[in-house]
Amino acid sequence: MYTPSRAAGGHPSAPATRPNLVKQRLYGKETVPLPVRTNPRRRLATGVLGLTAAGLIAFAIPLGIFLYADRLGVSVNQVMIRSGASLVATLWIFMGVAVTAVTVYASILVLRKKSEAGAGWMFLGVMGIILSTVFLLFTGLTGAIVVIVAGGLLVLGGLLDIL
């Protein structure tokens, strides 16, 4: 279990002295480092899990469309113009692009030490799982299974960060 050092947890409260009053940090002018509450040794693993999940989601977008076209017995071009199927394909593409973009951005921020994973990643993973399950159950889009696995990786990355 990771325990932050005393310096990372904050300074003990001391009476205000003249030098402390002079060196005040103005909000917006300087960044005040926040105390570290997560294990920094797991940051690389968390970032790699996030980027792996983003890659899986990006791979699942065309895979889902191809498998959906095969299930309907038509070509990919006909899926995009067929009534009902085009709506499913369009929603799948937009959902995939949105989740991929958010996952890549969050992973880069974690790797650059600008943010932490945790509850936000777990929420993103659960939402990806829920949306993909809806596509899988109601439309038979079997490519959604890959996004369900990617959502599981995001949940695992969030858990790694807070444990």
Q: Is residue 153, in this structure, part of any structural domain at all? A: yes
Structural domain range at position 112: 41-162
Structural domains in the chain (count): 1
pLDDT of the residue at 109: 87
Q: Is residue 96, in this structure, part of any structural domain at all? A: yes
Q: Is residue 13, in this structure, part of any structural domain at all? A: no
- Residues 68/141, Cβ–Cβ less than 8 Å: yes
Distance CA 155, CA 2 (A): 20
Among left, alpha and beta (phi > 0; psi -120 to 50; other), residue 113 is left
Joined tokens for residue 150: 């990617």
Pure H helices in the chain? 6-9, 18-22, 43-72, 76-81, 85-111, 119-139, 144-162
pLDDT of the residue at 144: 92
Q: Is residue 117, in this structure, part of any structural domain at all? A: yes
Joined tokens for residue 52: 């792996």
Q: Which of 97, 96, 110, 102 is nearest to 45 (CA)?
A: 110
* 14 phi/psi in degrees, rounded to 5: -130, 155
Q: Is residue 80, in this structure, part of any structural domain at all? A: yes
Q: Is residue 67, in this structure, part of any structural domain at all? A: yes
Q: Is residue 82, in this structure, part of any structural domain at all? A: yes
Residues lower than pLDDT 50 in the chain: 9
Q: Which of 106, 95, 16, 5 is nearest to 52 (CA)?
A: 106
Q: Is residue 35, in this structure, part of any structural domain at all? A: no
Q: Which of 136, 31, 138, 140 is nearest to 151 (CA)?
A: 136
pLDDT of the residue at 37: 64
pLDDT of the residue at 83: 87
pTM above 0.85, yes or no: no
pLDDT of the residue at 13: 53
